Structure 1
Amino acid sequence: MGLVTQIAVTTDPETASDFGSQLQYSPTTLPDPLTISPASGTVELGDLIIVSSRISPDPIETNEIAVHIPIGAEAWQLVLDYTGMQTSINLTGWSATPDPANERILFKPNTGHATLTPTQGVTLQLSKLRINRQVGTAPVVIALKWRTPGSTSYRTEEQTLSLGKFPPGFYLRDFKADNAYIENGDPVTLSWDHSENATCHLLYESAEIPVTDYSKFPVQDIRRNTMFYLRARAQAGTGTAERTLSYYVTVNRPDLEVRDLEIGGKARMFTRQTVTVPSTMYSYATAQTDGLLSVNVFSSTLTIYLETSPGYYAMQYRATGGPESYVMVPVMKGQKVNFRWAESPRAGNMFWFAFGDGEFLYD
């Protein structure tokens, strides 16, 4: 499996921060991804850097951060042993102690406890890890012991990071788009780099596109904010290793689809366009978006037909010159409208109230 972050938090609901976990962790490995050791002989080494951050209104105190690294030769274990492991932490006055009997590394402040501020960052680094020989996913559990200032008892918050181990030569990297911010309807070109032993698919919304033979791929007509995923799989013995990267593209003024919408303040629902009243006896127009067509006839009679199926029009509305000549016609996006005047002179006015900014255009 690929490098995936899974969070399983256990905190006291009466003391847990409204902002979620006390620390949020982001893992990075060198190499990226980690490579398994050969079946015999040489052992592959790897580094694990865990960057944690806080966004909380209150400080906390901690006396221990434990990183549990599973030892063994199985696919779900990460390292063969702790031999030669090097550890470091970015906080002054802290020390780290490997505890292989309990399969963990303990990071502790030398003064007994330390304060983590509301925006404190903590970086833990484990270097020269001896990666085992099986492709798979290893759970790395981080346990933070913490308390609120003035309290005497500590609580434990645990989060699990899943680290993938991959066959030699496998890589998937540099997944990006030529533009991360585009206008509605613009295309993007995605690019990446992958190893020859990888089978790749591009995934977004409901699409899944095989792209093994590509290093670039254009995607047309993007109308909403979109998360793109690039998934690579490689065969390793009887198992399969999988890694997924993601890239987010933001669309200016995107199309939106919502089930329910509640507005607490002011909202602009329409744009108004003045439409020239057709001067010929027969005219056709097409709505570029959903909207309402307001028609007021001063003289003659105007009959309005809406296309109900391709090429078939049904009479919907009729307005005859006079004080009661006003009609409001609902029109759907892409729907064609046929105007038919009875006789001359022909006079009136029309306004297009669009749900958005789509125009009402004569064909």
Structure 2
Amino acid sequence: MATANEPPLLSYALEPKSISVSTPTKPSPGKLEIAAIADTPVYCDGFVIRIPIGTGEEDLTTDKTITARLESDNPSVPDAWPHEERLEENDTILAVHFEPNAAVQISAGTRLTLHIADFDVNEEIGTAHITITELTSPTSSGPYPPRTTSHEVNKTPPGFYLRNLTPDHIAVDNGDSVLLTWETSHGTNYRMYWDDLSEPLSINDTAWRSPALTRTTGFMLQASVNTRSGRALILHTLTTAVTVINADLTARDIAVNGTLDIGNGPGTATTNLGFTTDEHGVRHLPSSMTDGNRDTYYWSALHPKVDDWVMVDLGGERQITKIEIYFGATTGYTLPSCDLEYSTNRTQWHKHTTIPAGRTDYKSGAIAWTARYVHLKMNAAQGHRIAIRSFEITTEPCGATITPTETVIHTPLTTKGAVRIEGDLVVTGEIRVMNKLTAENALEVGENLLAKGHVTVTQPGKVLRVRELRGPVKQGGETVDPPINISKGTITIGTIYGAGPYPTVTIPAHLKLSTPGRTTTINGPVIAKGNVTIDAKSDTQPAADNTLTVGAALIAKSNVTVDPGADGRIWLKTGRFNADGPALFAGKVDGLFPTVTSATWEGTSYSLTVDADMIATVRNESSKKQFINAWSGGNMLFEIGLDAWEVATVPLRKGWTFQKRSPQGGTLYVWRFYVGAKS
């Protein structure tokens, strides 16, 4: 490898990468070609090729002399470079120096080839490292420091070869195997690799049958030999791949741009008649019958005889409602007389009808079968092969269908873990949630939603419609917190059901009571982590509409707002009202105070005569410091400075003057809570 601080400026390739060793009776002549390629202009003042010499597995040759020459493919770069051979490191390295008379400019794209020849490879199997040092600079003025890299040459057994790894089929049906064959000189170790598995082979093997394949599989055959030191030397590797039709799919992540159909597929077609590859190399496989394309066709390899068959396996019992079969190819190849049969187990077959010979199609009309297998059984032999363009079986929907716009589940959905759905989920049956169901979009349930965990809707504006919501039940039959969590969406529930004490309704979002003609009464606590908003009633609504009555605590983590309207109310009969955030009341609050009013004070000053005993809360809504003060009988009772966004609460008596002083201007929000009768 190149040194860390002086990487080569040229790129290199060495051939051959492997070379046979000599034997005591037969020397193996060696020859190396080292290509040096300039990707950018380079100035070169020489090369040094270092070859390990000796009898060891890491030495290339025992010869201490070789022949060497440099060849250039660019006429502007001379190739008659003087060279000299030198022995280094106690005669264990043969160094070949190529030294031009002056630094040579090598233009971009130039290829120099350094030839090393006329030596015999030693007799020891192993790996020799050939070191290449260049004296180069990006500029003509230098300097020309040594820049070094190395390449390996594997020394293989004499006469070794491994070639032509070939499967007997390049495509097989799911569950079939292939026979792999190869050519080799033998005498070495072999191992076959596929998927994440491997298997050692005998040194005399030239064929190997795979296990049953369920997905497209790559194979790698590797030959190796142990060196004298015990190191495994990889001699050669061959690869091939086999396609599996209707393959199983295992993936960490999967992206489906079209439709994902679970349980509604066309089935897998098989036959005992083999298949034909035409003169154009097209393989007319059984899968052509179920590919949804009537322009492709299955073409048998054999002429049919009595009891030969063609079958479609639906993968499980299905409710079959119609069958259409299209026979023949463009040049004929229709079927003899055959029986159309179906079965649930491939043991007991039920005959539906006999299809006469020579038909180009068959259409069943409406049928009602329960079956997994459908096949055609030949009643007669014929003197030509058969072809089938399409074998179409229509069934009642089952399983699930997922498209980019919706998810349709035709069977009960049971989940014991969290489920997150980013599109619409439409369920015609029942949903049972053991843990948590999260819908990023609309979740519509036609029947019951039975949840032992939590159901979450997060997309703004989307609706969860549930006919009845049943929460988890404690051992004594008492219903605990309902399993419903609406963080952004809207919930419409016919009934929140629970035996025993009333449950707590927790809404980590906004609670808005705005449906015309509705009064909301909650006999248990309400905890709202967002805003609680009650819209003003319309002129057509009764006076009692759009009221919120809470029999216990109302705890709001954010704003509680009553929209303007004469009859907007929040009723606090018993219990308490806690507001962790600011409480904005545009109407009235009955029960705690007779009246609450709010106002906005602008400008540099504002003055108000206090008309009743009250408590005032003031917030500075500007970045400028402002002051509030109170006067009585010509005397200032207090003055309080408010920094930006600061809040203060002060008591005020009837008859006082309450005012603001803002030298730099600004806005104050003022809430007045009347604790006595307002005059």
Correspondence list, 1:172-187, <5 A: 172-174=161-163, 176=165
> How far is 1:121 from its partner?
2.6
Look up the equivalent residue of 2:62 and give its one-letter code: L
CA RMSD of aligned residues (A): 4.9
Report which structure shows greater RCO (CA 8 Å, sep ≥6).
Answer: 1
Q: Is the 8 A contact 1:175 1:190 kept in 2?
A: no
Paired position in structure 2 for 1:140: 130
Q: Distance in 2 between matches of 1:285 and 1:188?
A: 34
Paired position in structure 1 for 2:412: 304
Paired position in structure 2 for 1:28: 16
Q: Distance in 1 between matches of 2:22 and 2:116?
A: 17
Correspondence list, 1:328-339, <5 A: none
- Which among 148, 156, 167 is matched to residue 158 of structure 1? 148
2:124 matches 1:124:
no
Look up the equivalent residue of 2:198 and give its one-letter code: E
Paired position in structure 2 for 1:264: none
Paired position in structure 1 for 2:432: 316
Identity of aligned residues (%): 15
Tell me: CA distance 1:143–1:209, structure 2 relative to 1, closer, same or farther (3 Å).
Answer: same
2:51 matches 1:60:
no
Look up the equivalent residue of 1:245 and give its one-letter code: H
Paired position in structure 2 for 1:44: 28
Q: Is the 8 A contact 2:154 2:235 kept in 1?
A: no
Q: As a proportion of its length, which structure holds more strand?
A: 1
Paired position in structure 2 for 1:86: 67
SS of the residue corresponding to residue 163 of structure 1 reads: strand
Q: Is the 8 A contact 1:36 1:168 kept in 2?
A: yes
Q: Is the 8 A contact 2:162 2:185 kept in 1?
A: no
Tell me: CA distance 1:26–1:71, structure 2 relative to 1, closer, same or farther (3 Å).
Answer: closer
Q: Distance in 1 between matches of 2:54 and 2:221?
A: 31
- Cα shift readout 1:159-201 (whole Å, capped 9, x = no counterpart): 22222223434x133255579x999x99987654322211211
Correspondence list, 1:168-317, <5 A: 168-169=158-159, 171-174=160-163, 176=165, 191-212=181-202, 213-217=204-208, 220=213, 223=216, 229-234=220-225, 239=230, 242-247=233-238, 270-272=257-259, 285-286=398-399, 294-295=407-408, 304-306=412-414, 315-316=431-432
TM-score by length of 1: 0.59
2:115 matches 1:105:
no
Q: Is the 8 A contact 2:216 2:242 kept in 1?
A: yes
Q: Distance in 1 between matches of 2:128 and 2:252?
A: 39
Tell me: CA distance 1:156–1:235, structure 2 relative to 1, closer, same or farther (3 Å).
Answer: closer
TM-score by length of 2: 0.34
Paired position in structure 2 for 1:75: 57
Unmatched segments (≥5 aa) in structure 2: 73-77, 89-93, 265-318, 322-367, 369-394, 417-429, 434-443, 448-462, 467-679
Look up the equivalent residue of 1:270 and give its one-letter code: N
> How far is 1:245 from its partner?
2.7
Look up the equivalent residue of 1:35 and give its one-letter code: V
Q: Distance in 2 between matches of 1:289 and 1:214?
A: 48
Paired position in structure 1 for 2:520: none
SS of the residue corresponding to residue 271 of structure 1 reads: coil
Look up the equivalent residue of 2:236 and give its one-letter code: L
> How far is 1:142 from its partner?
1.1
Correspondence list, 1:348-359, <5 A: none
- Cα shift readout 1:196-251 (whole Å, capped 9, x = no counterpart): 21121123552222233433556655648x5x543323467675663343456689
Tell me: CA distance 1:292–1:158, structure 2 relative to 1, closer, same or farther (3 Å).
Answer: farther
Tell me: CA distance 1:52–1:178, structure 2 relative to 1, closer, same or farther (3 Å).
Answer: farther
> How far is 1:10 from its partner?
1.5
- Cα shift readout 1:5-31 (whole Å, capped 9, x = no counterpart): xxx112547xx68xxx631323316xx
Paired position in structure 1 for 2:269: none
Q: Is the 8 A contact 2:84 2:96 kept in 1?
A: yes
Tell me: CA distance 1:258–1:144, structure 2 relative to 1, closer, same or farther (3 Å).
Answer: farther
